[in-house]
Amino acid sequence: MNSNFSKNSFLDKLPKHLRVFTIEQPYNEYTAKNQAVWRYVLRKSTKYLGKVAHKSYLAGLKKTGISVDVIPRMEGMNRILKEIGWHAVAVDGFIPPNAFMEFQAYNTLVIAADIRTVAHIEYTPAPDIIHEAAGHAPIIANPEYAEYLRRFGEIGSKAISSAKDYELFEAIRHLSIIKENPNTAEKDIKEAEEIIEIINANMGEPSEMARIRNLHWWTVEYGLIGDINNPKIYGAGLLSSIGESEWCLSNRVKKIPYSIVAADNTFDITKPQPQLYVTPNFAHLSFVLEEFADTMAVRNGGLKGVEKLISSRDLGTIELSTGIQISGNFTRVIDDENYHAIYFQTTGPSALAYKNKQLIGHGKTYHADGFGSPVGKLKGINIAIEDMSPTDLEAYGIYEGKQTTLNFKRGITVTGEIITGTRNLQGKIILISFKNCTVKYGDEILFQPEWGIYDMAVGENIVSAYAGIADPDNYGLMYEPPKEKTHKIKYSKEEKEIHKMYQIVREMRENNVFDLVKLEGVFSQFKTNKKEWLLALEIYELLKNTKSKLKIEILDYLNQVDNPYTNLVNDGLELLKNN
């Protein structure tokens, strides 16, 4: 990693656990053929999208510093993006949804550094720089949409996943990687697709993450906006797909008014979408997002919230009514006959925090073996511990140095000597520490004196439950980047020669130097290969205003290229004619 990359001020402001996904943009690895792919897609897209995309699109391309002719450099984009309060980082393909959305919450655009091959020039199942830079970035220049995206990241990063979600993510990432590699055997692709089908068929009840990911897909990726009978495009997946951006507006694709119902409509990333949702305006997106957030455990907590965290088998946080936050791997919750949580338990390194700041002395080293605590009021006492005045606490025997037994409703008892208590900013007690303590649920022992100090979190109920850690930096949270990396394409000797030809043509265009002899030499090397239509188009562009024999030969070649490239060639020729 070079010094310029590591010293980006905005990168240093990102949480450490997110930085692990960032990579240096491998700009020198882009071939001249890659540059030609970018150029073809952007020229075709901007011509067509100028008529059918949201009005922010073309203006946004200029605002975000994206050129039609050159793959953008990340540092160049960031110089311009910072003016609208955003930044961009390069990553290796798909990253886990929670991490992706957390980047958004920090006004950071995640850009997959690779670029699609010619074989997938119209649509790629893998995220690439065309999709991210030319799809997402321009619409971010619209302030209302940018705020929606940031808020989506803020809420989405708290969504609780299921154990199956990550399995599906890994399978989709694997498929996207091998499908974009031209050296992959067809049987390997088919096998990967079958695995995804099996996982999808056994996902069970959709998690919060699965449902909010659907909302993300039908808006940020594949959203339409405006009049349902004549909508405009704003979703990045459509803006970056020269095939689907035309298909999506046809009568063959059903248009549905956007609502929270979209959260329960799944999608297939490998195929064109049979229906799309139309939002009347960007403000409506935020309305639906808040409506969905009201259904999430981050706003509702309770027994169901803890159960979701247990099912996720991943790190999560609950917040009690006093504001104390408990982070760790939740493995158990005890409930009463009214389905209220009365005791929760984490296993392994856990931490306590208040207002997202770790409580001193209560990090994962101290709570290395987990944390458990009762929830609710004491039996026979209407006032909750958190609402007790100093007089109340003394009356009920809850003060330092007192040997006491706290009998909670529904059978949880805490017996021990109170050492100290911790209060929040409002003066309410949020944590009580005991020595020589025994905690029981009926006859079952939940904590015994030999285990050391018992710290009891105070709270009448669980008000929030969400994925992730309350104070990730102090916890030392570290994500692991996906094990499988994007395959670096191994080019044959012949392919490397083709790249040199693209480079010769590119240099002529950029330097405004015309060398007919060189071009004839280039054409003679590939004219028997009927698949190099893009290189032929690049040469034809240089020759279009000449009367050379080579121009006629190139045009004849283009008229004979193999399917399925015929439409691409015709579109390319049409572009040149108009220019």
Distance CA 261, CA 238 (A): 21
pTM of the model: 0.88
Give which of 49, 68, 50, 58 is closest to 245, Cα–Cα.
Answer: 49
Task: Produce one character per residue of 383-421: b if its CB has 16 or more CB atoms within 10 Å, e if not.
Answer: ebbbebeeeebeebebeeeeeeebebbbbbbbbbebbeb
Distances from the Cα of 348 to the Cαs of 6, 163, 332, 491, in angstroms? 33, 18, 12, 47
25-58: per-residue pLDDT in tens?
Answer: 999 999 999 999 999 999 988 888 888 999 999 8
Q: What is the largest CA-CA distance in the chain?
A: 103
Distance CA 291, CA 153 (A): 15
Give which of 345, 359, 342, 283 is closest to 316, Cα–Cα.
Answer: 345
The answer for residues whose C-beta is within 8 angstroms of residue 36's C-beta and 6 or more apart is 502, 506, 534, 535, 538
Q: Percentages helix, strand, coil for the chain, rounded to the nearest 5? A: 45, 20, 35
What per-residue confidence (pLDDT) applies to 109? 92
Say if CB 301 and CB 461 are below 8 A apart. yes
Say if CB 180 and CB 124 are below 8 A apart. yes
Q: Which amino acid is at 332?
A: R
Distance CA 323, CA 576 (A): 63
Say if CB 555 and CB 546 are below 8 A apart. no
Helix (H) or strand (E) holding 372: strand 372-374
What per-residue confidence (pLDDT) applies to 340? 93
Backbone phi, psi, residue 158, to 5°: -90, -10
Q: CB atoms < 10 A from the CB of 517, how many?
A: 8
Give the 3-state secondary structure of residue 96: coil
Cα torsion angle, 518, 521, 523, 525, sign: negative
Say if CB 212 and CB 191 are below 8 A apart. no
Give the 3-state secondary structure of residue 59: helix
Distance CA 396, CA 421 (A): 15
The answer for residues whose C-beta is within 8 angstroms of residue 45's C-beta and 6 or more apart is 134, 239, 240, 242, 245
What per-residue confidence (pLDDT) applies to 31? 96
Helix (H) or strand (E) holding 552: helix 549-558
Which two tokens mark 405? Answer: 């037994």
What per-residue confidence (pLDDT) applies to 6? 40
What per-residue confidence (pLDDT) applies to 83? 87
Give which of 107, 109, 105 is closest to 154, Cα–Cα.
Answer: 105
476-500: per-residue pLDDT in tens?
Answer: 998 888 888 888 888 899 999 999 9
Task: Produce one character per residue of 291-316: b if its CB has 16 or more CB atoms within 10 Å, e if not.
Answer: ebbeebbbbebbbbbbbbbbbbebbb
* Residue 329 β-bridge partners: 347
Burial class (CB in 10 A: 0-12, 13-18, 19+), 537: buried
> Any idea what the Cα angle at residue 523 is, between residues 517 and 524, rounded to 5°?
90
Say if CB 341 and CB 375 are below 8 A apart. yes
Which two tokens mark 465? Answer: 């439950």
Which segments of the chain have a pLDDT < 70? 1-9, 270, 579
Distance CA 418, CA 404 (A): 7
CA 178 to chain centre: 20
* Residue 318 β-bridge partners: 326, 465
E strands within 36-171?
Answer: 87-91, 108-112
Say if CB 344 and CB 333 are below 8 A apart. yes
Give which of 300, 293, 375, 297 is closest to 332, Cα–Cα.
Answer: 375
CA distance between the termini of the chain? 41
Distance CA 345, CA 331 (A): 6
Q: CB atoms < 10 A from the CB of 330, how many?
A: 29
Backbone phi, psi, residue 60, to 5°: -70, -35
Which two tokens mark 435? Answer: 């020595």
